[in-house]
Amino acid sequence: MRTILLLIVSNSFMTYAWYGHLKHTETALWKVILMSWGIAFFEYCFMVPANRLGYMEGWSGFQLKTIQEVITLTIFSLFAIFFLKEPLRWNYLVSFTLLIGAVYFMFKK
């Protein structure tokens, strides 16, 4: 559970670092890059421990990456809907459902 919580925090920082500037297109690109790097530092402060803890708890690298991608898409979806004000379309939901299937098979022993 600690791994999941750390991944959620990490991906929250990552999503904002990568996509938050889309609401501020008037800001110079070089400034956006520097701000994104600064925010991404905090992403790494949570991502690295999340992966280390998960690995030490017995998750494989493949499992860690798969669960991280699902968390990333979940957080990004919320970000896109509420921050960027983009619609959630039916085909996005279908693709997310297929990813949940991938997670099931990834963790099946």
Contacts 24+ apart (CB under 8 A), 84-88: 84/19, 84/22, 84/23
Task: Report the candidate in 1, 2, 5, 35 with the shortest Cα–Cα distance to residue 17.
Answer: 35
Of 96 and 22, the structure prediction assigns the larger pLDDT to 22
* Count of domains forming the chain: 1
- pLDDT bin (cut points 50, 70, 90) of residue 108 is confident
pTM: 0.85
pLDDT in tens, 30-54: 999 999 999 999 999 999 999 999 9
Domain range for 86? 2-107
User: Residue 103: what pLDDT?
Assistant: 83
